[in-house]
Amino acid sequence: MSSESSGSNCRRNREFCSGSPHRLEPCPYMSFDSRLETTRLFFVSNAPVPNPWSLRHVSEDSFSKYSELCIRGFLVQGMLQLDDPAVCETRQILEDIGWIYTVLHVRPFCPKVVRECISNLYSADDGVYIRGFRFDFDPVVINQLFMTPNVEHSHVWETDYLSEAIIRLTDGPSLGNILFNLSPPTKPIDFSRLVYDQVLEMSRSCDVDTKITLPNVIYQTIILQRDITALPGDEPLIGSPLWINGDEVDTDIRRGRRGRARLG
C-alpha cells in the first residue's frame, strides 16, 4: 500500500470546496472499515508467539515501565467534523500535506493495550510484542497505515519543541495552531517520525506528571494490523475523540495568521 499513491488519490478526489460554501460534496475518503480490511490484508497474520516474560509484558523492565505508565493520564486526540462547511479550508490544508486520515477516523482506545505497547517497545528490537503477537511499529508502517507521505529530509525536532508539538496535536480545539504553527518554513514534517519519536520518548521517560500522548494513534496503528487478544481485566474503550468544529478551527487559524510563534 503506497502512501504516495494514496495521497495522489486523495488529491484527485478533492471536491469538498466546490460549489456553494454551505454545501459539501459526498465524502470522497475511504471509510474506516475499508481501511481496516485493506490494511489487514497487507499484513500477514503470523502464528502466535508467546511474550518472553508474560502474556502482557516482554521483560521485567517493560513491566516496570508499564507500572509507571499506569499513574499517567491520557491526552485524547481531536477529530475533524467533515460535515461542517466551516472546516473546508482546514481540510484543504490537511489534504495538501497528506495528513487527512490522521483526523478522520479517530477511535477510542484500550488503556492497557496502549500502555503495553509503549512499555514493550521500550525493550523491543524488532517490532513490538503485544499479547502473543508481533506488531510492526516503525515510521514506515505508520505512514502506510495513515496514508501519510514519506518525507526524505524531515524537520528535526528539538526534544522540548517535539513535546509541545505533540501536545498541540492532541489538544482537540488547537487544530488551527497545528496547521500554522507546526509547519517549519524550510522542511516538511514527517508525521510517522513525529509519532514514533514521541512514543519512544514516552517509553524512556520517567516523568510521571506528563500525560500519555497520541493514545488514539497508537491503538489505531495496532488494530489496523490485526485483532488484539482480549484479556481479563481489560477496561472498556475510552478516549472518544474531541470533535473539532468550524468555530474552533477558524479562531485558531486567525490567531495563527496574527503571527503566533512557529515551533522549530
Q: What is the pLDDT of residue 226?
A: 94
| Mean pLDDT, rounded, of the chain | 75
Q: What pLDDT, on the 0 to 100 scale, is given for residue 165?
A: 53
Identify the pLDDT of residue 152. Answer: 77
Average pLDDT over residues 213-235: 94
Angle at 133 between CA 62 and CA 56, to 5 degrees: 35
**Per-residue pLDDT at 109:** 96
* Average of per-residue pLDDT across 66-94: 85
Dump pLDDT digits (tens) for 127-171. Answer: 899 999 999 999 999 999 999 998 876 656 555 554 555 555 555
Place of cell 523492565: 61
Question: What average pLDDT does the segment 183-188 reach?
Answer: 56
C-beta of residue 56 within 8 angstroms of C-beta of residue 238? no
Looking only at the bridges linking them, the beta strands covering 242-244 and 133-135 are unpaired
pLDDT of 164 reads 54
Give yes or no for a contact between 79 and 103, defined as CB atoms under 8 angstroms apart: yes
150/187 Cα distance (integer angstroms) = 13
Asked if the model's pLDDT at residue 96 lies above 60, the reply is yes
Residue 229 has pLDDT above 80, yes or no: yes
Average pLDDT over residues 229-253: 74
Question: How much is the average pLDDT of 81-103?
Answer: 83
How large is the average pLDDT for residues 101-122? Answer: 93
Sole residue written with cell 522542511: 187
Phi, psi of 118 (to 5 degrees): -65, -45
Q: What are the backbone dihedrals phi and psi of residue 162, each rounded to the nearest 5 degrees, phi first?
A: -60, -45
Least confident of 1-10, 110-119, 196-205: 1-10
Kindly state the average pLDDT of the residues 9-14. Answer: 39
For 212, phi and psi rounded to 5 degrees? -75, 125
Please report, in angstroms and rounded to a whole number, the separation of the first and last CA atoms in the chain: 31
55: its cell numbers: 502474556
Lowest mean pLDDT among 89-98, 142-151, 170-179: 170-179
Least confident window among 126-135, 170-179, 214-223? 170-179
Cα→Cα distances 48→45, 62, 120, 145, 169, Å:
9, 20, 16, 22, 35
Secondary structure element (H or E) that encloses residue 94, with its range: helix 88-97
Q: What percent of the chain has pLDDT over 70?
A: 68
Q: Give the model's pLDDT for residue 224.
A: 96
pLDDT band of residue 110 (cuts 50, 70, 90) is very high
All 3 cell numbers of residue 51?
A: 511474550
Q: Where are the domains of the chain?
A: 3-257
Lowest-confidence pick of 110-114, 158-162, 209-213: 158-162
Confidence of residue 33 (pLDDT cuts 50, 70, 90): very high
Residues 6 or more apart in contact with residue 88 via CB below 8 angstroms: 16, 17, 21, 24
The DSSP output letter for 213 is P
Asked if pLDDT for residue 207 goes beyond 50, the answer is yes
How far CA 213 is from CA of 5, 55, 239, 243, 256, in Å, comes to 29, 24, 11, 17, 23
Which helix (H) or strand (E) element contains residue 135?
strand 133-135
Angle at 134 between CA 52 and CA 139, to 5 degrees: 125
